[in-house]
Amino acid sequence: MIEFVDTINAPSLVKNYCIAHTKPVIPFCESTFNLEIGAEGTLNSRDFENTINCFNLIPFGKRFRRELGSSLGSFAARKHLLASNDNLDFAINISTYRTFMLSNKRPKHFHKVLKLNFITERESEVLADLALPSEVSCAWKLPMPISVGTIERNYAYCHHIEDLDLHLEIAISEGILTTAESDELRNTKILLPGALSVGMMPAQIFCDINEKLEVISRKFLDVFWAEQRDDYQIRAANFCHERLGSYLLEQHLRKTYGGLVSSHFGYWTRVDNDLSYSQGKMTT
């Protein structure tokens, strides 16, 4: 990554969102908008006053909540942003019920491959000002890129490659990617984990990329999806969004800043009292 202090971005106000299907264990902030995945009342409104039900904003998400996972929350965040703001001259910071961004590594419990912090619930209670800022000097704080060999090989190893193939075919047919960009995505060697479901970025960029992902997911789920999968692999749309979102974010960063700027990245942090990682357990 390019090593310099980013002076391109002026200080920016931040709107915080938390995607949750159960009570969040991340640091608490009264101004956070909680994106409730599930029936109204899944999050107790007495505890979480700023609660927005995702199904009310994204009706098709009720049928496909398992396939979409946290992507459903990111779609709802975009709908809420556009409905409640005349302009998008601020940053959006998205967390999930147990993952958020920090600027610093926690050396004692740090997964070197995933570049992921683990902290306990007790530790998270004192980090609200760092995790959920109201104003920042730089409107970017994304999870550190991780090496995956290539996106295509990584996806084929972890999931069902035909799902990624269909997502890319739809992206080309909808004019979101060219054939050359689709091939470039397949051969990309890094992944920005949790793309658009965790991290901070300018709200306009978030909305532009997020809208493209929703177009692709609607067609994939409405036209092509008929698979029965286990509880992990059923999140096919969510897994593909992470790869597509990562590519589109990286593409924007390289075009705008000439590369991946170190000050645009922080540390993806998971609240987990086990302080450990296991495959299938790590969901945003």
Domain extents for the chain?
12-271
Q: Which range, of 63-72, 151-160, 275-284, averages the lowest pLDDT?
A: 275-284
d(CA 214, CA 209): 9
Q: Which long-range contacts (CB under 8 A, 24 or more apart) does 48-53 make?
A: 48/24, 52/76, 52/80
Of residues 217 and 86, which shows the higher confidence score?
Answer: 217
pLDDT > 50? residue 283 = no
Average pLDDT over residues 232-255: 96
Give the H or E element holding residue 167: helix 161-173
How much is the pLDDT for 124? Answer: 84
DSSP-derived 3-state class of residue 17: strand
- Placement of tokens 């970017």 in the chain: 140
User: Backbone phi, then psi, for 17, in 5-degree steps?
Assistant: -130, 145
Q: In 3D, which of 39, 14, 40 has the Cα closest to residue 94?
A: 14
pLDDT > 70? residue 3 = no
pLDDT > 60? residue 39 = yes
With a CB cutoff of 8 Å and minimum separation 6, the contacts of 123 are 271
The length of the chain, given as a count of residues? 284
Model confidence pLDDT, tens digit, residues 117-149: 998 988 887 787 778 888 899 999 999 999 999
pLDDT > 70? residue 46 = no
Question: Which amino acid does the sequence have at 11?
Answer: P
pLDDT > 50? residue 53 = yes
Average pLDDT over residues 258-281: 81
pLDDT > 70? residue 279 = no
Q: Which range, of 9-18, 42-51, 87-96, 160-169, averages the lowest pLDDT?
A: 42-51
pLDDT > 90? residue 162 = yes
